[in-house]
């Protein structure tokens, strides 16, 4: 059974860099059928896609966060990571790592987010 687990500091100071790692177990991060992503949810609010990465290292970012986000992958450790720079209180959120799976339906290729980590709360405060 595939499992994703986020890890990293739960408290980050304003203007510093938030760093999280997602460890994937029960499956390989190097499969061509998957992308791996980060999604966040501020307390009491909705979901916001941050960005995704392919095992080859190709990255895709939310345009609204692109200037501050870096996602990387370490296939040897079956992990991928998120760095968000210059954080403010508005970046306080539960951060989820997730898998997007390639599926074909009636000739349409889709990438639903079918596995999620449990989420980790990151608070930005001095």
Partner 1 sequence: DIQMTQSPSSVSASVGDRVTITCRASQGISSWLAWYQQKPGKAPKLLIYAASSLQSGVPSRFSGSGSGTDFTLTISSLQPEDFATYYCQQANSFPLFTFGPGTKVDIK
Q: Which residues make up the interface to partner 1 (CB under 8 A)?
A: 35, 37, 46-49, 52, 60, 62-63, 96, 98, 100, 103, 105-106, 108, 110-114, 116-119
- Concatenating the DSSP letter of every residue in the chain gives --EEEEES-SEE-TTS-EEEEEEEESS-TT-TTEEEEEEEE-TTS--EEEEEEETTS-EEE-TTTTTTEEEEEETTTTEEEEEE-S--GGG-EEEEEEEEE-EEETTEEE--EEEE---EEEEE--
CB-nearer residue toward partner 1: 52 or 92: 52
Q: How far is the CB of 76 from partner 1 (least distance, A)?
A: 23
Q: How far is the CB of 114 from partner 1 (least distance, A)?
A: 5
């Amino acid at each position: 059974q595939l499992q994703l687990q986020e890890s990293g500091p739960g408290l980050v100071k304003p203007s510093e860099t938030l760093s999280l790692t997602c460890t994937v177990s029960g499956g390989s991060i190097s499969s061509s059928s998957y992308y791996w992503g980060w999604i966040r949810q501020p307390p009491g609010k909705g979901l916001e896609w941050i960005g995704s990465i392919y095992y080859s290292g190709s990255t895709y970012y939310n345009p609204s966060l692109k200037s501050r986000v870096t996602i990387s992958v370490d296939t040897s450790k079956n992990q991928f990571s998120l760095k968000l720079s210059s954080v403010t209180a508005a970046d306080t959120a539960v951060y989820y790592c997730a898998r997007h799976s390639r599926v074909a339906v009636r000739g349409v290729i889709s990438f639903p987010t079918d596995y999620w980590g449990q989420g980790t709360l990151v608070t930005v405060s001095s």
